[in-house]
Amino acid sequence: MTTIGHLINGETRCDAERTQAVFNPSTGAADKQVALASKATVEEAIAAAQAAFPAWRATPPLKRARIMFRFKELLEANSETICRLIGEEHGKIAHDAAGELQRGIENVEYACGVPELLKGEHSRDVGPGIDSWSEFQPLGVVAGITPFNFPVMVPLWMYPMAIACGNTFVLKPSERDPSSTLFIARLLEEAGLPKGVLNVVNGDKTAVDCLLTDSRIKAVSFVGSTPIAEYIYSTANANGKRCQALGGAKNHAIVMPDADMDNAVNQLLGAAFGSSGERCMALSVAVAVGDAAADALVSKMQAAMASLKVGAFSDSSNDFGPLITAAHRDKVVGYINSAEADGAEVVVDGRHPEVEGHAEGFFVGGTLIDRVTPEMVSYKEEIFGPVLQVVRVKTMEEAMQLINDHEYGNGTCIFTRDGEAARYFSDHIEVGMVGINVPLPVPVAYHSFGGWKRSLFGDLHAYGPDAVRFYTKRKTITQRWPSAGVREGVQFAFPS
Ligand code: NAD
């Protein structure tokens, strides 16, 4: 059986004392295992990153950027392999994996502009003959801890910018689908990154806790579930580190009575069921304003879902694939059971999908649940599966109150034809990323990504301009040069 190891100082390492099975969720088979790093292995990675820091910090930003240009080309040239690796361990269909890779590459493209981004601020004559400027210096060794659902894109939110800014990096990817993450880290070395600048340690809580407490780590970027995000943020802070920790979500779409219902249904199909709903920006709740809108939405949705195709990652005609593990599949089914037991109506039931030839895969079919209410556990908690719940309300204010009262505030969307209503919604909704007739308002790489409330702990969002601030510290220099008389001492003209 293949054992997936670590990348430390440019070498593949494997401490296989503790391992964990890596499944192919489409077949249910544990084809591989991943080494779980010991504290000593993580410390070795931190030491490698620290040793690489002085030379990397001194490397001109333009030269760092040139490596990112080559990295982008290698990511594109290897896209088929990357998408296959994502599919084998995550279960994502090739077209969806390609989308993930593309959004990741866009962050590398942004990092290519780092000489411009690090230009700093300058003020001449802040006093007589005094100039002052601020520059942005790297922090040192920084760490990233990432979730299973975007094994390529989320790491690319972090290390290209951190490294382009002059830091060195230790990445701890998800232990559930580590191969694509490790593969692209090697591509960055192939692009010319010096050894030790990017290190990857696979592992679990042991590795994470080592990164959170080691004084050589100056900052931690985390993306994952909210309970772990909160733990990461408080522990990193208690250990004197800068931290941004992005957590879970429960994204609502308001469907207004004036919405183009066919368009809303189309958009909701992709946003609720794409990637099996295992996206932090998945729309998992549709809040229909008025019974007429709700009835139309539910009946059109039910009809459209008849043609949804769930199946193995290897068949690109499928719309979405399996869930990540058998345990997660059972958890998702448990939420559907609980909604039903609480009195909601399961309109389309995906609990027992038939996927020919893949009886052991971790599949749940697209599920639509109507008449969900805010007291239900299935409404309060993140399901992270292909389940769309419909809540019926009477007014837009009521719909917005629901969203504002929810503990999560990652993404949201309104479907309407009324520009004023949309403007009011985007002004007053307590959510970090807002779509107006756009179901997945994921910011492009030159903006920054982040939710509000318990979807993000920290001040700065991920990637884009906020990443430049997160991965650098400001230094402000004020200078005066009293004359030493040198200029006056040499005169080539007749004194006047
Ligand atoms: P997770 O929280 O289980 O794991 C994330 C990372 O934390 C992994 O690397 C894991 O090894 C580590 N980890 C897990 N338990 C830990 C512990 N007890 N102590 C220390 N480290 C621990 O999340 P996941 O299941 O991999 O990913 C899905 C979650 O991530 C969902 O909640 C989803 O909404 C969220 N997510 C959020 C965003 C965002 O941008 N806000 C993006 C993607 C995913």
- The answer to whether position 262 is within a domain reads yes
* Beta-carbon count within 10 A of 463 CB: 29
CATH assignment of the domain containing 196: 3.40.605.10
- On whether both 99 and 199 belong to a single domain, the answer is yes
Q: 329: CA distance to ligand 1 center in Å?
A: 16
Secondary structure of residue 422 in the 3-state scheme? helix
What's the domain range around 311? 251-436
Using only C-alpha atoms, the chain has a radius of gyration, in whole angstroms, of 25
Q: Is 228 in the pocket of ligand 1 (CB under 6 A)?
A: yes
Can you tell me the distance from the alpha carbon of 391 to that of 55, in angstroms, rounded to the nearest whole number? Answer: 56
- On whether both 465 and 409 belong to a single domain, the answer is no
Q: 168: CA distance to ligand 1 center in Å?
A: 23
- On whether both 336 and 375 belong to a single domain, the answer is yes
Report the helix count and the strand count for the chain, using DSSP H and E: 17, 23
Candidates 103, 152, 228: which one to mutate for ligand 1, based on the most atoms within 8 Å of Cβ? 228
Q: Is 455 in the pocket of ligand 1 (CB under 6 A)?
A: yes
CA-based nearest residue to 412, from 420, 427, 331, 445? 427
Candidates 152, 157, 208, 460: which one to mutate for ligand 1, based on the most atoms within 8 Å of Cβ? 208
- The answer to whether position 483 is within a domain reads no
- On whether both 39 and 171 belong to a single domain, the answer is yes
Q: Which pLDDT does position 489 carry in this prediction?
A: 65
Question: How far is residue 431 from each of residues 131, 251, 437, 455, measured CA to CA in Å?
Answer: 41, 9, 16, 9
- The answer to whether position 445 is within a domain reads no
Q: 146: CA distance to ligand 1 center in Å?
A: 6
The length of the chain is 496
- On whether both 261 and 358 belong to a single domain, the answer is yes
Secondary structure of residue 444 in the 3-state scheme? coil
CA-328 nearest atom, ligand 1: 25
Instruction: Give residue 470's identity as a one-letter amino acid code.
Output: F
Residue-wise pLDDT tens for the chain (496 aa)?
899 999 999 999 998 799 999 999 999 999 899 999 999 999 999 999 999 999 999 999 999 999 999 999 999 999 999 999 999 999 999 999 999 999 999 999 999 999 999 999 999 999 999 999 999 999 999 999 999 999 999 999 999 999 999 999 999 999 999 999 999 999 999 999 999 999 999 999 999 999 999 999 999 999 999 999 999 999 999 999 999 999 999 999 999 999 999 999 999 999 999 999 999 999 999 999 999 999 999 999 999 999 999 999 999 999 999 999 999 999 999 999 999 999 999 999 999 999 999 999 999 999 999 999 999 999 999 999 999 999 999 999 999 999 999 999 999 999 999 999 999 999 999 999 999 999 999 999 999 999 999 999 999 999 999 999 999 999 999 999 988 777 766 667 776 6
Structure tokens at 154: 């989320």
Report the domain count for the chain. 2
Residue nearest to atom 9 of ligand 1 (CA): 174
Task: Sort residue 203 into left (φ over 0), alpha (ψ -120 to 50) or beta.
Answer: left
Can you tell me the distance from the alpha carbon of 300 to that of 261, in angstroms, rounded to the nearest whole number? Answer: 8
CA-227 nearest atom, ligand 1: 2
Q: Is 281 in the pocket of ligand 1 (CB under 6 A)?
A: no
Q: 277: CA distance to ligand 1 center in Å?
A: 15
What secondary structure does DSSP assign to 22-90, as a single string?
A: EEETTTTEEEEEEE---HHHHHHHHHHHHHHHHHHHTS-HHHHHHHHHHHHHHHHHTHHHHHHHHHHHH
Q: Which of 405, 436, 467 is the last residue of a domain?
A: 436
The phi, psi pair for 29, rounded to 5°, reads -90, 140
Candidates 148, 283, 455: which one to mutate for ligand 1, based on the most atoms within 8 Å of Cβ? 148
Can you tell me the distance from the alpha carbon of 409 to that of 406, in angstroms, rounded to the nearest whole number? Answer: 7
Q: 264: CA distance to ligand 1 center in Å?
A: 30
Q: Is 361 in the pocket of ligand 1 (CB under 6 A)?
A: no
Can you tell me the distance from the alpha carbon of 133 to that of 120, in angstroms, rounded to the nearest whole number? Answer: 7
- On whether both 208 and 261 belong to a single domain, the answer is no
CATH assignment of the domain containing 420: 3.40.309.10
- The answer to whether position 387 is within a domain reads yes
- The answer to whether position 491 is within a domain reads no
Q: Is 136 in the pocket of ligand 1 (CB under 6 A)?
A: no
Burial of 327 (0-12, 13-18, 19+ CB in 10 A): exposed
Q: 480: CA distance to ligand 1 center in Å?
A: 50
What secondary structure does DSSP assign to 99-146, as a single string?
A: HHHHHHHHHHHHHTTHHHHT--EEEEEEETTEEEEEEEEE-SEEEEE-
Can you tell me the distance from the alpha carbon of 312 to that of 24, in angstroms, rounded to the nearest whole number? Answer: 10
- On whether both 10 and 152 belong to a single domain, the answer is yes
Structure tokens at 29: 């088979």
Structure tokens at 122: 């300058």
Structure tokens at 246: 């992005």
Q: Is 400 in the pocket of ligand 1 (CB under 6 A)?
A: no
Half-sphere exposure of 477 (CA within 13 A, CB side): 10
Q: Is 149 in the pocket of ligand 1 (CB under 6 A)?
A: yes
- The answer to whether position 98 is within a domain reads yes
What percent of the chain is helix, strand and coil (3-state, nearest 5)? 40, 25, 35
Q: Which of 436, 468, 488 is the last residue of a domain?
A: 436
Q: Is 385 in the pocket of ligand 1 (CB under 6 A)?
A: no
Q: Which residues contact 231 (CB under 8 A, 6 or more apart)?
A: none
Can you tell me the distance from the alpha carbon of 265 to that of 352, in angstroms, rounded to the nearest whole number? Answer: 23
The partner residues of 141 in beta bridges, in order of sequence, read: 168, 217
Q: Is 148 in the pocket of ligand 1 (CB under 6 A)?
A: yes
Q: Is the whole-model pTM more than 0.90?
A: yes
- On whether both 218 and 259 belong to a single domain, the answer is no
- On whether both 239 and 295 belong to a single domain, the answer is no
Q: Is 383 in the pocket of ligand 1 (CB under 6 A)?
A: no
- On whether both 62 and 196 belong to a single domain, the answer is yes
Can you tell me the distance from the alpha carbon of 179 to that of 340, in angstroms, rounded to the nearest whole number? Answer: 38
- Which of the residues are catalytic? 280
DSSP state of 325: -
- On whether both 305 and 281 belong to a single domain, the answer is yes
Residue nearest to atom 30 of ligand 1 (CA): 224
Residue nearest to atom 24 of ligand 1 (CA): 147
* Beta-carbon count within 10 A of 491 CB: 8
Can you tell me the distance from the alpha carbon of 131 to that of 61, in angstroms, rounded to the nearest whole number? Answer: 24
Q: Is 212 in the pocket of ligand 1 (CB under 6 A)?
A: no
Q: Is 174 in the pocket of ligand 1 (CB under 6 A)?
A: yes
Q: Which of 406, 436, 466 is the last residue of a domain?
A: 436
- The answer to whether position 441 is within a domain reads no
Q: Are 282 and 272 in contact (CB under 8 A)?
A: yes
Q: 9: CA distance to ligand 1 center in Å?
A: 26
Burial of 474 (0-12, 13-18, 19+ CB in 10 A): exposed
- The answer to whether position 301 is within a domain reads yes
Secondary structure of residue 220 in the 3-state scheme? strand
- On whether both 346 and 208 belong to a single domain, the answer is no
Structure tokens at 343: 């009195």
